């Protein structure tokens, strides 16, 4: 009919059906595709379903626009979409926080510390990786790819950069010392 200014959107809440449908339509059309897993669920469940589905679809080079469809605040959809795209290497920017699981070597209250670091880094216009590790023994070694990191100990911790220990600090100063390093890096940008 002569109208070709369009984007095609096909969605399902069934992840594997949605993936297969996108594979089939991508073989048959030249039009841009809007991809997403519809009605995927709550923030946690929906983010996981969307990450799996969009990961499979986008990794094949299928998709021009995305939507993460969550039962939650719309801002959560944006956060999830950005993280999915960044994880796939399709988007750059922002600090990536990596943290270890808790184990018998953990000597710090790791879970709240990791959440505090995630909040802290939101305001920095840096494209780096920051690690939050539970022990000083494995921290710098396991997270040596991190640009910056902190690792806990008994009442103290270490600040490290690219796997090299910068300094040992009291546990309560870990966050403020990390902030100083981030401020310095942001000033160099």
What is the model's pLDDT at position 144? Answer: 81
Q: How far is CA 95 from the centre of its chain?
A: 9
pLDDT at position 143 is: 80
**How far is residue 105's CA from residue 102's CA, in Å, rounded to a whole number?**
8
Two tokens, residue 79: 């956060």
Enumerate residue ranges in the chain where pLDDT < 50. 189
Residue 110 has a pLDDT of: 87
The Cα 42–Cα 76 span in angstroms is 10
Q: Which helix (H) or strand (E) holds 146?
A: none
pTM higher than the cut 0.85: no
């Amino acid at each position: 009919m002569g109208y070709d200014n369009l984007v095609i959107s096909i969605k399902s809440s069934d992840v594997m059906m949605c993936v297969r449908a996108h594979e089939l339509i991508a073989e048959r059309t030249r039009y841009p595709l809007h991809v997403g897993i519809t009605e995927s669920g709550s923030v946690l469940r929906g983010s996981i379903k969307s990450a799996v589905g969009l990961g499979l679809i986008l990794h094949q080079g299928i998709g021009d626009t995305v939507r993460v469809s969550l039962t939650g605040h719309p801002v959560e959809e944006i956060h999830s979409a950005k993280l999915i795209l960044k994880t796939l290497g399709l988007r750059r920017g922002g600090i990536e926080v990596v943290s270890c699981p808790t184990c018998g070597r953990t000597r710090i209250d790791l879970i709240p510390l990791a959440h505090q670091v995630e909040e802290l880094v939101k305001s920095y216009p840096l494209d780096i990786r920051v690690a939050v590790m539970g022990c000083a023994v494995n921290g710098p070694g396991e997270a040596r790819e991190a640009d910056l990191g902190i690792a806990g100990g008994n009442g103290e911790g270490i600040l490290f950069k690219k796997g090299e220990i910068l300094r040992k600090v009291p546990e309560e100063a870990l966050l403020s010392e990390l902030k100083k390093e981030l401020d310095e890096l942001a000033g160099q940008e």
